[in-house]
Structure 1
């Protein structure tokens, strides 16, 4: 992914996604007020949640670190939007979205996928 516009377009394609700026400089993508992806407007970083079994693989990649303040919840931060191939970043964001949706109440999950 090469631009913030591509990131926004992709994230907005995921059902019930909302976008807002939080903490003054982070573009946050959420589903039912639960964030699944965050873009640093000042530094160009992107953060998202990863499955526990993939955590080590992500953080062993140059340019990816445990996300500050969110690492204990399984989040990582890429130091550049184009660090991962577009298809890999989209898969990662989609996985983060799915992981967040799976923790929502069943009633809300049913609203999303019916």
Structure 2
């Protein structure tokens, strides 16, 4: 999956907002909490997002996947163009990042976003 397709996928998640932070990063959030970050360049040169704690080490052992600068302690990874991620795996990782962040929102905010 290229990074432009990954950005489109992030935009499709319920309640996703997109804004620019730190002058050069596009940030995807749900409930004002980040779940993915990429640079504003087109084409993007990489993307960071949250992963499950138990997958962090295995993912960062793979070529092209690094601990995300400033966010590695929170189990975020940085995926470079050299990463060997298929489209399905990349989409699943992004969706899981969204789910992990969504799960930390208040129940009220979760209901507001999901419409239930």
CA distance in 1, matches of 2:83, 2:18: 20
Q: 1:14: how far off?
A: 0.3
The 5 Å alignment of 1:42-53 reads 42=41, 44-53=45-54
Partner of residue 74, structure 2 = 73
CA distance in 2, matches of 1:81, 1:32: 31
Partner of residue 21, structure 2 = 22
CA distance in 2, matches of 1:73, 1:99: 12
User: Runs of at least 4 residues of structure 1 off by over 4 A?
Assistant: none
RMSD over aligned Cα atoms: 1.7
Unaligned runs of 5+ in 1: none
TM-score by length of 2: 0.89
Partner of residue 108, structure 1 = 109
Determine if contact 1:45/1:79 at 8 Å carries over to the other structure: yes
Q: Which moves more between the two structures, 34-43 or 14-23?
A: 34-43
TM-score by length of 1: 0.90
Aligned residues between the structures: 113
Unaligned runs of 5+ in 2: none
SS at match of 2:96: helix
